[in-house]
Chain A
Amino acid sequence: MAEAAADGFVRATGPAPLSFPADYGPHDDYQTEWWYYTGNLEDPSGRHFGFQFTIFRRALQPPAQRTGRASDWAAEQVYMGHFAVTDVAGRRFRAFERFSRGAAGLAGAQADPYRVWLEDWQVADVPGRPGVTRIQAAADGVAVDLTLTDRKGPVLQGDRGYSQKAPDPGNASYYYSLTRLVTEGTVTVDGRTYAVRGLSWKDHEYSTSALAPDQVGWDWFALQLDDGTELKVFHIRRADGSVDPFSAGSFVDQDAAVTRLARDDFQIAVLDTWRSPRTGAQYPSRWRVIVPGLGLDLTVEPWLADQELNVSYAYWEGAVRITGARQGRPVAGNGYVEMTGYAGSMQGQF
């Protein structure tokens, strides 16, 4: 259920059936969209790497105002890419940002065959191998070339993919995830290339207005456990420091069955903090995540304290390791945590 808002963009106002592969592609009538890949990888010697590869799309103007211009370069959409690699052994975190117009073939997205690209950064279906995609990105001596095989299919977040973020039903997004992508390929850091294997996670979300005015940012956890399950939880933080009731989560079991989690179904306690030397922002740096109903009690810790992307909007997005127990049995795993709104509010951002 989607309707056009006063500013002319379409808003997510209620559950609407997502259909694939069509919804793998872009939704140009919504203002904002992103395809978000994160993963934890290791080379045969156990050298641990994290990677983030994200393509953001933002519409410059609502559909009704688009004029159908003659030039191929006429831009209705702007694409932004973020690419980061964490090299734990090298204690290095490198992050890159780039922009392009979504025109003239420089950047864009399509559903089938699936492809999202910004110049030479791209994620695309591998021809002839259903469910397999390839990510290629490089910048300044850092590169990834990874093949991702989907094990569980799309997991619809929120109510059948409708993820409400605030009381106004229009402050929501459509959101699905691929929570277990078996990954192999290469990571290049400082000119050295490592053969790696591991797990990746994809989020694809599109909206016109997700956050309400008093919401400043979020803490978002994508955790992949070694018993074949995944947990996603997020806190939306309000300007007064409290946690917003629209915070939510989901648990995916070995068979891709999804359990929805509401605000009160889980707790996130901050155990430690870290202050960024660049932005001065103070970020949480260790957590205890408890989901009583599922018997989950996890300690989450960054692989590297400094995984702050100091790009045009500064935020923290980093690889984390997990230890703890599920229903009394020890579990471990890796994941990604994203924290926004610590170095500046999310309001009005891409």
Chain B
Amino acid sequence: MAEPSAPSVPAAPPAPGLSSPLWRVGWRYLLRHPWQTALMVLGIALGVAVVVAIDLANASARQAFDLSTEAVAGRATHQIVGGPQGLDQTVYVDLRRQGVATAGVPLAPVVTEVVTSPQLGNQPFTLLGADPFAEAPFRTYLADRSGVPLADLTAFLTRPGAVLLSRPVAERFGLQPGDTLELNVGGYRRMATLAGLLEPADSLSRRALDGLILADIATAQELTGRLGRLDRIDVILSEGDPAAEARLRSLLPAGATLTAVAARSGALQQMIAAFRINLTALSLLALVVGLFLIYNTMTFSVVQRRPLFGTLRCLGVTRREVFALVLSEAAIVAALGTALGLALGVWMGQAAVRAVTQTINDLYFVVTVRGVAVPVESLVKGALLGLAATVLTAAPPAWEAASVPPRLALSRSGLERKAERAVGLAALASLGLMAVGLALLLWPTRSLITAFAGTFLIVVGIGMQTPLVTTVAMRGASPALGRLWGVLGRLGPRSVVSSLSRTAIAIAALMIAVSVTIGVSLMVSSFRHTVEIWLDQTVQGDIYISPPSSTATANTATVDPAAVATVRGWPGVARVDTLRAVTVDSPAGPIALAAVDNPSVGVERQYLAVDRPPEQVWAALRGGAVLVSEPLANRLGLPRRGGELILLTPDGPRAFPVVGIYYDYTSSQGVAIMDLGLYRSLWGDPAITALALRLTPEAAQDPDAVAAALADALAPVQSLLVQPNAALRAEALAVFDRTFAITGALQLLTTVVAFIGVLSALLSLMLDKQRELGILRAVGVTTRQMWRLISLETGLMGAVAGLLAMPTGLALSLILIYIINRRSFGWTLQFQAEAAPFLQALAVAVIAALLAGLYPAYRLSRLAAAEAVRYE
């Protein structure tokens, strides 16, 4: 930033550039206003911290996903997968016997399941069953090169229940070779023995092995009960060898399909993309609020020093140097704030990672994150964002400082007049912003980025209306307040308007933060309300029985047939509906299928569109039709009526007419409902995923007792979750609330940033007004009256922010519900207006403003009148 002096003025004294004296101007200013500086630093720090924390959480989740994919898929490029029951193992043996591997296409059989163990902290682990003789090309940790160390392998291959863990995992849980592990595999208790430890070669494989229990494929079949079956066959096909791929395809029997690993994991990644973008957008909002604060404070510091800048200019300091001076101040604050923010962000990231991973596990698939690796990119991104945003935000005030003419500064009243003129301009510009924002929102696209950009423009646009609204509101309030509190009552609103250049920005920042609170609360409560209604409609059974799964969505585990028989004969059970939940392949990727035998399924759904009366839906399903959920219809682009769903059955593709589209909130990827009998006849899969029981009227008096007795009776067969209706609903809502926990935390953080902004703005404002208030003291205004005046002023600011936040929050919630949510997850939510979020928001705004005014009021009330008047 140090600029050489212009060569055309050789006679001038040595140009200071940004040499030491000028630097000191900036430093000293920051040091002499420690509160303001600290608040600015804190504001930036919090903004950066939130962005970094969320980015970290997203990156960690992604990394964990990649690692678990890498750990489980290894170097496989393709996988051969079967239907819901996996593949017959003879598919693999036949491919080997036909020389596919000899022809340069490595193959490895895999049996895998998510399991938990009390000895492993009851966290989800992936049990990976592999054949060490086939592993070398795929996963390096089990076999090195072709040489298989026979001595080490003997126990692994021959001892029933033998498993391996990586040494760090074993050490973390205090396990040693020979120890027994009690595994919970889909509700069955299985005993395993730690047969040995794997030494990870590097940190990457250490993390890849972190969530893994390795077993021989025979052991894995025995532990999971999948005798004769494989979950998949891993394949490595070299790129640019379509002949090998075609040959392999030609060798596959019906029901076995070859898919690219990238496509599969891409589809999984796609699932959580929307979730991640939403979090990122919310975290950016915190930064935007922080930027308002920076802008505000920098402007104030410039305004306060106009005389100084005038003097400097008189002394021959160039415009450019003044500009650089102010920017360098901003850069110092930015550097401090960003550094603090990064540290804070990494710390908060730990908590965020847990929350984000939990949600992904709840809603999508299992990832295990243990020990957050801090990706350098996240830190670089956060640092650049913090520095660049601060310096850019400080540019207009710096420009303002540089444009001070080289004489004594304009009077404050002059500046405020200028600000008043700007009110109209800002209002006008904001209309433009909002128009562009609205256009972006209404743009017919499914892009989330566009939607968020539009949302930001609208919010910022409304924010820019603040000066106008404030002026109008204060003028309107002034007479009424005057009648109430006399001179002081009129003085408050006028004072707000007279320092509009700073009050407006503080109000806008608070308004935005509060409106986000309103918008998100309304969205969440509408969502929750919708889910409650939907649960009422859909969860009609009295008792639900399913195998415990480590995630809310995993459904590979099945109910033991013996348990089903017990349930069917249980006294008090009037009817047993069975569900088979599976994922089947379709030309459009994997599709979740719910095969049911519940004849009232048709009337237990709410329809977006349906071809016939709900009472006749069941007959249509029996006739080969399917129902699809709204997200699935959106994902596949199905028409409202007359669509069809194509699924890959073991006998090849088959089209199913879609009889209706129903609302559903279980999966953002969507679900299709099919008649269980039809499913069984097509896929030949007799397994059952869950049972819904209807009780006789007598038994229904006390479903908890029936559930408890059933759970006890079933325990020897399989440990199953037996949940009464109410418990299931409560669990569904608990998952829902957990999903939004991180949203709530972000919302709170944004409000904290806004609060700091308001505090900082008021502090500056009050210090600035020291002389004015000193005069008031001098003319006899008491301490009490001073308190009242300042509280009135801050309260008014809070009230304006709170009131303006109401329509903004409403607009935000509508955008979130009808645009962002639909685009992200494909869900239609029933908008549910509630008074509470609005009132809360108003209260938060006023209380935040009042609290922020406490310290300045305290300081001013303690100043002696003479000292106050002296000012600077």
Which residue among A58, A75, A103, A139 has the maximum number of chain B CB atoms within 10 Å of its CB? A75
Restricting to B470-499, which residues have a CB under 8 Å from any CB of A? none
Q: With A and B bound together, what is the CA distance between A342 and B147 in angstroms?
A: 19
Q: Does A74 contact B (CB under 8 A)?
A: yes
Please state if A106 and B93 are interface contacts (CB–CB under 8 Å): yes
Return the chain A residue nearest B93 by Cβ. A105
Please state if A73 and B102 are interface contacts (CB–CB under 8 Å): no
**B residues less than 8 Å from A114 (CB atoms):** none
Q: How far is the CB of A312 from chain B (nearest CB, A)?
A: 4
Q: With A and B bound together, what is the CA distance between A308 and B18 in angstroms?
A: 77
Q: How far is the CB of B132 from chain A (nearest CB, A)?
A: 9
Given B101, B157, B219, B222, which contacts A101 in the complex, CB threshold below 8 Å? B157
Q: Does B160 contact A (CB under 8 A)?
A: yes
| Count of chain A residues near B, Cβ 8 A | 33
Q: Does A76 contact B (CB under 8 A)?
A: yes
**B residues less than 8 Å from A139 (CB atoms):** 102
Given A69, A99, A117, A120, which contacts B160 in the complex, CB threshold below 8 Å? A69
Q: Does A119 contact B (CB under 8 A)?
A: yes
Restricting to A28-73, which residues have a CB under 8 Å from any CB of B? 58, 60-61, 65-67, 69-73
Q: How far is the CB of B108 from chain A (nearest CB, A)?
A: 12
Restricting to A71-100, which residues have a CB under 8 Å from any CB of B? 71-76, 78, 97-100
The interface residues of chain A, by DSSP majority, are classed as loop
Q: Does B228 contact A (CB under 8 A)?
A: yes
Q: A72-B227, A75-B157, A140-B104 are in contact. Are A103 and B218 (CB under 8 A)?
A: yes
Please state if A101 and B96 are interface contacts (CB–CB under 8 Å): no
Q: How far is the CB of B24 from chain A (nearest CB, A)?
A: 73
Please state if B97 and A120 are interface contacts (CB–CB under 8 Å): yes
Please state if A71 and B101 are interface contacts (CB–CB under 8 Å): no
Q: Does B667 contact A (CB under 8 A)?
A: no
**B residues less than 8 Å from A69 (CB atoms):** 160, 218, 222
Please state if A67 and B160 are interface contacts (CB–CB under 8 Å): yes
Given A67, A101, A350, which contacts B131 in the complex, CB threshold below 8 Å? A101
Please state if B96 and A73 are interface contacts (CB–CB under 8 Å): no
Q: How far is the CB of B311 from chain A (nearest CB, A)?
A: 85
Q: How far is the CB of A150 from chain B (nearest CB, A)?
A: 26
Please state if A73 and B97 are interface contacts (CB–CB under 8 Å): no
**A residues less than 8 Å from B96 (CB atoms):** 100, 106, 119-120
Please state if B146 and A60 are interface contacts (CB–CB under 8 Å): no
Q: Does B52 contact A (CB under 8 A)?
A: no
**B residues less than 8 Å from A76 (CB atoms):** 158
Please state if B101 and A99 are interface contacts (CB–CB under 8 Å): no
Q: Does A16 contact B (CB under 8 A)?
A: no
Q: A60-B154, A75-B158, A138-B99 are in contact. Are A99 and B133 (CB under 8 A)?
A: yes
Number of A-B pairs, beta carbon distance below 8 Å: 87
**B residues less than 8 Å from A71 (CB atoms):** 217-219, 221-222, 227
**A residues less than 8 Å from B89 (CB atoms):** 72-73, 104
Q: A71-B221, A120-B98 are in contact. Are A101 and B133 (CB under 8 A)?
A: yes
Return the chain B residue nearest A350 by Cβ. B150
**A residues less than 8 Å from B160 (CB atoms):** 67, 69, 74
Q: With A and B bound together, what is the CA distance between A104 and B227 in angstroms?
A: 11
Q: With A and B bound together, what is the CA distance between A327 and B147 in angstroms?
A: 47
**A residues less than 8 Å from B146 (CB atoms):** 97-99, 311-312
**A residues less than 8 Å from B1 (CB atoms):** none
**B residues less than 8 Å from A75 (CB atoms):** 157-158, 216, 218
Q: How far is the CB of A166 from chain B (nearest CB, A)?
A: 23
Sample of 30 A–B contacts (CB below 8 Å):
A60-B150, A65-B158, A67-B158, A70-B221, A70-B227, A71-B217, A71-B219, A71-B222, A72-B218, A73-B216, A73-B218, A74-B158, A75-B157, A76-B158, A78-B148, A78-B150, A97-B146, A99-B133, A99-B146, A100-B96, A100-B133, A101-B157, A104-B93, A117-B97, A119-B96, A119-B102, A120-B97, A120-B99, A120-B101, A312-B147
Having A98-B146, A119-B99, one finds 12 other A-B pairs with CB under 8 Å, namely: A58-B150, A70-B221, A70-B222, A71-B218, A71-B219, A72-B89, A73-B216, A73-B217, A78-B150, A100-B133, A103-B218, A120-B96
Tell me the A residues contacting B by CB distance below 8 Å.
Answer: 58, 60-61, 65-67, 69-76, 78, 97-101, 103-106, 117, 119-120, 138-140, 311-312, 350
Tell me the B residues contacting A by CB distance below 8 Å.
Answer: 89-90, 93, 96-99, 101-102, 104, 131, 133, 146-148, 150, 154, 157-158, 160, 216-219, 221-222, 227-228
